Amino acid sequence: MKPHAVLIPYPAQGHITPLLKLAKILHSRGIYITFVNTEFNHNRFIRAHGPESVSGLEDFQFKTIPDGLPPSDKDATQDITQLCDSLRKNGLPPFLDLIKSLNDSPDCPRVSCIVSDGHMSFTLDAAEQFDIPEVYFFTTSACGFWAYCNVVELLRRDIWPLKGESQITNGYLDQIELDWVPGMKNIRLRDFPSFIRTTNPDDIMVNYNMLQTKNASRAKTIILNTYDELEKEVLEALRHKFNHVLSIGPLHLLEHDIENPKLKSIGSNLWKEDDTCISWLNQRAQNSVLYVNFGSITVLSPQQLLEFAWGLANSNQYFLWIIRPDLVSGDSAILPEEYSKEVEGRAMMVGWCSQERVLAHPSVGGFLTHSGWNSTIDGLSEGLPMICWQFFASKHLIVDTRA
């Protein structure tokens, strides 16, 4: 009988994408897969790809659990703070029920392994109750994960919480060098995940992330979508702290080796992809287009949108800009009429796309990014120069590969 792996991502686009890639790679190597989305994201997935996208593949099934938040059909990323708090309080019972139903089902093998996102530590309780080994997958860089692991040390050393809001803007974050963090030379407090910029010791996001990294030691193995040549010193530090840490990336390059076309075609995007941008790129010269995408969570102010818009216009370069429906706070992303006239003929703007296809396109010569880890490792793998506008969480930790 086939081994059966249950994979469950944290319910956000940047976490679903690498977990689903791993699921497809494992399936191509003979493992039965159950992929678990929240009900909210499962519905978005079907709207984006059609009902056939979650059925019809042998030994690969999609299941759901509730996220504990009020029902919604909004086609946008949920509030991260509310989602973390709800999953911590409500995630375990439905996941226990799911594992039990899978083990009792005559239609699939008993569950032999759980591969959980590192931000879903309630799954460890389920794994221990059913005596199933669990692999913990942190979807950040190794640097990002290691920084999360050291937040508790900021608390112990009385560096966090901040003593006043003024410390966010008065240079304090630059002045505090953390020379006690192994594997991270010259790291400052500013370089730590942005959640720590608070005076509130009960901050939901900081405490949620401290809980997840604390629980990581309970997993049989920790895996990361990176490779040793890229983050060698940090990976060595992690391997001193945890028994088993494996680098398994870049996953999207391993995904290229999958031979089953139906398996390979399973998409992970929660928004419908607009393929017209590929046709537009086909008409551009080699290395002539700047690709602009701020990911699935970043929210711009209307003023920031205009600053980026006119900066791109004044560059006199061709550019492809992904402007998802919820990119701008408040109203939808609306640019003035004169802007469309200014960039006519050298700009393409769509709501969402297949980023890997775009980055691999010969006409793309650069990438303006929010520095999310998926985007960073995608860009590195294609050898593209990147302009980085770090926005959120561990996206301030950018690997220097010049050495």
Active site residues: 15, 117
Structure tokens at 186: 């010259």
Three-state secondary structure call for residue 280: helix
As a dihedral over the C-alpha atoms of residue 55, residue 71, residue 124, residue 375, rounded to 10 degrees, the angle is 70
Find tokens 């551009």 and name the residue.
284
Helices then strands, counting H and E runs in the chain, come out as 17, 12
> Cβ(41)–Cβ(68) under 8 Å?
no
> Cβ(31)–Cβ(103) under 8 Å?
no
Residue 232 and residue 234: Cα distance in Å, rounded?
Answer: 6
DSSP string, 194-261: GGG--S-TT-HHHHHHHHHHHHGGGSSEEEESS-TTTSHHHHHHHHHHSS-EEE---HHHHHTT---H
Give the 3-state secondary structure percentages of the chain, helix then strand then coil, rounded to 5: 40, 15, 45
In Å, how far are 138, 287, 302, 339 from 310, measured between CA atoms?
37, 21, 12, 8
> What residue type is 34 in one-letter code?
T
Contacts (Cβ under 8 Å, ≥6 apart) of 205 = 80, 81, 84, 195
